[in-house]
Structure 1
Amino acid sequence: MPTSNQIPLLLVDDHPVVVEGLKALLRSEVDLPVAAQANSGDEALQVLAEHPEIRVAVLDLNMPGMTGVELAYTIRQTYPQIRILILSMFHDHASVAEVLEVGCAGYVLKTASKAELSGAIREVAAGRTYFSSEVAATVLQNIQIPASREQMKEARASELTNREREILQLIAREYSNSHIAETLFISERTVETHRKNILTKTNSKSVVGLIQYALRNRLIS
């Protein structure tokens, strides 16, 4: 059984040599034990049912059959307590948008150092988000910057209140409405109203737009 300060991991990649490499890389990190591993999405779901102690799943993005995004979505629906970190060679906008859309907590490139990878795992396990600098840059590059003076005026007028900023930070940490209400000592109905206002003010239709706004305004790291 893991100790209270350990973060049991699930490693998933369709290349066994990659999984073994990750295990070797993390072996000296005593707080990051590898509790299970898998080489496909189906296998990952099987081992998750056998390892309730897993706190963070590190998933390859591009796998045959069930993709990393599809696996992440299924895990989020079935095991909402598990935090998901995507590990990939790619950081194009389409891939990053899909990852954010399904509620993953982090996105790290396979070129990351041991220090960055282990740090990212600890960050997402603590309820925060982590994106490699290249991934964050991809998100920022695809933000629509107001071009006209009138648009800039509208953008200034739609700045978030302090309360809305608090709620946006908690949304980015994947807090549910009830959890946000409990944390901020307000009603769920008030949270829902704030959430709608945030979507309107940031001109967002989903969590992708909210993450873009939060990153640009340095509301999350």
Structure 2
Amino acid sequence: MSVPLLPLTRIPLLLVDDHPVVIEGIKSLLKSEADLPVVAQACSGQEALDVLAMHPEVLVAVLDLNMPGMSGTELAIAIRAQRPQVRILILSMFHDHASVAEVLEAGCAGYVLKTSTKSELTLAIREVAAGHNYFSGEVGATMLQNLQLSGLRERPQEPRANELTNREREILQLIAREYSNSHIAETLFISERTVETHRKNILTKTNSKSVVGLIQYAMRHKLIG
């Protein structure tokens, strides 16, 4: 099912990159976007954590992946531990297999290449702020290759997608977009208890142990793009 973006009038941003010129370039790109104010910036992981503590309004953190000291994924994990409501968008020049796997494991909501256009960057920020995931096309291709290289092609003993009920397929799609149980319940007009029951059944039927596993399953069966 198609889920509309939640209307957000203002999405305060934290920008983190060890090259100040990159931060200034992004700020310049975004200055005409009234709903995307850059309220904080930092050039290292520790500085980012210090700055974030002074800016509780931040909703999305745009992080460079490769930084000295604390990497982008290490910083993402630290931010999610301290401020789980902050959505993480990784910005990088690279989309190799190891980097993509690391970003997924860190629970980041998006991954955009530094070669992306302004329109893709602003779309990615708004998507992750609305509770969705966003990956550049090249990153998505690497994700699929990772599934193949790790032997995660569909196997005969793996449950087929059509063994999920229509409701379970709907819920799986929303879980893959990182919707909370309460948000899923509100979207589908069902109770949170019902969502939790469906979630447990989906994990069992797909032989998955985490949201990452569910996303991989949904991608293999073309339930999400």
Fold match, TM over 0.5?
yes
Deviations 1:12-69 (A, max 9, x none): 0111111111111212222211111001111111111111111111011111111111
Equivalent residue, structure 2, for 1:37: 41
Q: Against the structure 1 CA distance between its residues 97 and 204, is the aligned structure 2 distance closer, same or farther, given a 3 Å change threshold?
A: farther
Deviations 1:98-131 (A, max 9, x none): 2222221111111111111111111111111111
Equivalent residue, structure 2, for 1:220: 224
Residue identity matched to 1:24: S
Select the residue among 91, 109, 116 that pairs with 2:113.
Answer: 109
Q: Quick check: 1:67 aligned with 2:71?
A: yes
TM-score by length of 2: 0.84
What is the deviation of 1:178? 4.9
Equivalent residue, structure 2, for 1:186: 191
Q: Against the structure 1 CA distance between its residues 156 and 68, is the aligned structure 2 distance closer, same or farther, given a 3 Å change threshold?
A: same
- How many residues align structurally? 213
Equivalent residue, structure 1, for 2:87: 83
Kindly indicate whether the alpha-carbon contact (under 8 Å) linking 1:136 and 1:215 is maintained by their aligned counterparts in 2: no
Kindly indicate whether the alpha-carbon contact (under 8 Å) linking 1:107 and 1:132 is maintained by their aligned counterparts in 2: yes
Residue identity matched to 1:164: E
Q: Against the structure 1 CA distance between its residues 201 and 91, is the aligned structure 2 distance closer, same or farther, given a 3 Å change threshold?
A: farther
Q: Against the structure 1 CA distance between its residues 135 and 159, is the aligned structure 2 distance closer, same or farther, given a 3 Å change threshold?
A: farther
| Secondary structure at the counterpart of residue 17 of structure 1 | helix
Q: Against the structure 1 CA distance between its residues 93 and 193, is the aligned structure 2 distance closer, same or farther, given a 3 Å change threshold?
A: farther
Deviations 1:54-101 (A, max 9, x none): 111101111111111111112112112211111111212222222222
Q: Against the structure 1 CA distance between its residues 6 and 187, is the aligned structure 2 distance closer, same or farther, given a 3 Å change threshold?
A: closer
Alignment of 1:32-181 (within 5 A): 32-143=36-147, 144-146=152-154, 151=156, 154-156=158-160, 159-181=163-185
Kindly indicate whether the alpha-carbon contact (under 8 Å) linking 1:55 and 1:81 is maintained by their aligned counterparts in 2: yes
What value does the CA root-mean-square deviation take over the aligned residues? 2.3
Mean CA deviation greater in 198-207 or 28-37: 198-207
Alignment of 1:9-24 (within 5 A): 9-24=13-28
Give me the whole-angstrom Cα distance separating, in 2, the residues matched to 1:205 and 1:93: 22
Deviations 1:134-184 (A, max 9, x none): 11111112222236xxx1x75437632222223223322333445545655
Give me the whole-angstrom Cα distance separating, in 1, the residues matched to 2:76 and 2:34: 26
Residue identity matched to 1:173: R
Give me the whole-angstrom Cα distance separating, in 1, the residues matched to 2:35 and 2:127: 13
Give me the whole-angstrom Cα distance separating, in 2, the residues matched to 1:220 and 1:77: 27
Q: Against the structure 1 CA distance between its residues 186 and 18, is the aligned structure 2 distance closer, same or farther, given a 3 Å change threshold?
A: same
Q: Against the structure 1 CA distance between its residues 90 and 175, is the aligned structure 2 distance closer, same or farther, given a 3 Å change threshold?
A: same
Mean CA deviation greater in 158-167 or 121-130: 158-167
Which runs of no fewer than 5 residues in structure 2 stay unpaired?
Answer: 1-7
TM-score by length of 1: 0.85
The share of aligned pairs that are identical, in percent, is 76
Which runs of no fewer than 5 residues in structure 1 stay unpaired?
Answer: none
